Amino acid sequence: MKRKLPWRHIPLALVAIYALFPMYLLFINSFKTKTEIIKNPMGFPTEWTLQNYSIAWQQGNYSVAYLNTLIITGATVILVCILSGLAAYALSHLIIPGKNIFLGYLFISMSLPMGFIPIFFMAVKFNLINTYWGVIIPYVGGGFAFNVFLLRAYMVGIPKELLESARVDGCGTLGAFFRIILPLSKPAFIIVSIFSALGTWNEFFLANAILQTEEVRTVSTQYLNFTSKYGTNWALMAASGVITVIPMIILFLLLTRRFISGLQEGGVKF
C-alpha cells in the first residue's frame, strides 16, 4: 500500500521555514567574526567561535539586564493573571450592575491603539522614569482587555453548580475563585502567562524610552550597545540576539503541550 504524500503539510512547512530562517541567520552569524559576516552572511562559519558571546555579555551588561527583565516580566505576569483573572471571574459568574457596559468598554478598548506619547508623559508626571513600575503598569494595562476576554471565555464553561456547592460549604467569593475557578482554568492562565511573558520580554520601544539608565535597562534594549552612528558590529549583535531570545524559546518549548491544549479547550468554549 502506497503512502499518500501529505500535501496539506507543504504550506505549513513553507511557513515554518520562512519563520525560522531569521533565527538560522541569527544563530550562525553569532559564531562568526565581523569580517566573515560581511563576506558570507548566510553560510556556515569557517571557524566557530564563542568569543562574541563573552564580549556581548560584558559589553551589553547582561547580568544586570537579565535581572531587570526577570523582575519586570515576573511582576507583569503575576499582576496580569491576578487582575485579569478576577475581572474575568466577576464578568462570567457574578451578578454585577453594568456588567455588559463594562464588557462593551473592554471590547472597544481592544480596537484603540495605545498611545506611546501619552504614556511617556504620564510616566514623567508621576516620576516613573527609570523605575520598574514605569513599564510594568503599561504592560499590564495594554493587554488587560484581551486577557480578560480570553479568561472569561474559558471560565464561562465552568458549571455554576460547582460554585454554588462551594458557597454552600462555606466558601466566599474569593475562596470560590482560588479553590474552584483558578485550578479549573489553569490552561487559560498558562496561555495568558506565555503571551504576557513573551510580550514583556521582547518589548523595546517603551522600555527604551522609560528605562534610560544602565541600572534598570532590559535585555531587549541592550541592542543599542552594539550600534553607533559610525557602524554596527553585526557579530556582537547576533550574539546579543541569541542571548535575548533563548530564555523565551526554552519557556515556549517547555509549555508547548499545555499551550496547545489550552488554546483548543478555550476555542471549544468560545
**What is the reported pLDDT for 69?**
94
Q: 260 vs 172, which has greater pLDDT?
A: 172
Question: Does 270 score more than 50 pLDDT?
Answer: no
pLDDT in tens, 135-186: 999 999 888 888 998 888 888 888 888 888 878 877 788 888 888 888 888 8
25-36+46-269, superfamily in CATH? MetI-like (1.10.3720.10)
Q: 253 vs 195, which has greater pLDDT?
A: 195
Please state which of the ranges 21-35, 70-84, 134-148, 223-237 shows the lowest mean pLDDT: 223-237
**What is the reported pLDDT for 75?**
95
Question: Does 244 score more than 70 pLDDT?
Answer: yes
DSSP per position, the chain: -PPPP-TTHHHHHHHHHHHHHHHHHHHHHTTS-HHHHHH-SSSPPSS---HHHHHHHHHTTHHHHHHHHHHHHHHHHHHHHHHHHHHHHHHHHS--TTHHHHHHHHHHHHHS---HHHHHHHHHHTT-TTSTHHHHHHHHHHTHHHHHHHHHHHHTTS-HHHHHHHHHTT--HHHHIIIIIHHHTHHHHHHHHHHHHHHHHH--HHHHHH--STTT--GGGGGGGGEETTEE-HHHHHHHHHHHHHHHHHHHHHTHHHHHHHHHHHHHH-
**What is the reported pLDDT for 77?**
94
pLDDT in tens, 174-200: 888 888 888 888 888 988 988 899 889
